Structure 1
């Protein structure tokens, strides 16, 4: 019996919110497009009950924006595997333009 490769289902693209407040600048020179990122639920976050933190190798880069996080938050809360990868990295003054990520649902 042939084994079928499992494919990730792309959910959406998103900037990383709050980049300027966390450790993104510290690790900026090590980040590359295509790198995997960790998504961590923060249900006790004082600012957003659906907060989904974006980490790279233990460094907090920011969050999935509040406008984009409800669906992802519910998936994670129900035990689904959601992953993220870096799509684009840009230098510049606007922190919302620094990192764009893609979120995926693993079957």
Structure 2
């Protein structure tokens, strides 16, 4: 029986478990576009101009629910390097916060970015991983 399952993660078992070096998409897994908005609060982020230099169109951004005294539904937006960019705007976050609270995985992709005086405007598309 031990000949059937190798612990090195190779072969078909390695593919199924994701340890064989081959990435196989899960059945029916997809990303669902939900909404376009911008990242709010970039003017309050220290070193935002340094962070902006490393952000590219199409980069994936992570969302985190945050205990925030200014907004009970706050969703923090971070780069893949865990650098805070700002928040989903308050007027846009109610549905997304509820989805995240229900255990849904949401993320964004950078759509556009520009520097407007002392402000970095980052437009994002929000997706649901289903």
> Do the two structures share a fold, i.e. TM-score over 0.5?
yes
2:68 is aligned to 45
Match in the other structure for 2:85: 61
Question: Could you say which residue in structure 1 is the equivalent of 2:7?
Answer: none
SS at match of 2:91: coil
Compare CA radii of gyration and give the structure with the larger one: 2
1:21 match: 44
C-alpha distance in 1 between matches for 2:52 and 2:90? 23
Query: TM-score, normalized by length of structure 2?
Result: 0.73
2:129 matched residue in structure 1: 106
Q: Distance in 2 between matches of 1:27 and 1:40?
A: 18
User: Could you tell me which residue of structure 2 aligns to residue 12 of structure 1?
Assistant: 35
Q: CA deviation at 1:4?
A: 5.1
How many residue pairs match? The answer is 103
Normalised to the residue count of structure 1, the TM-score between the two structures is 0.88
> Are the counterparts in 1 of residues 43 and 118 from structure 2 also a CA contact under 8 Å?
no
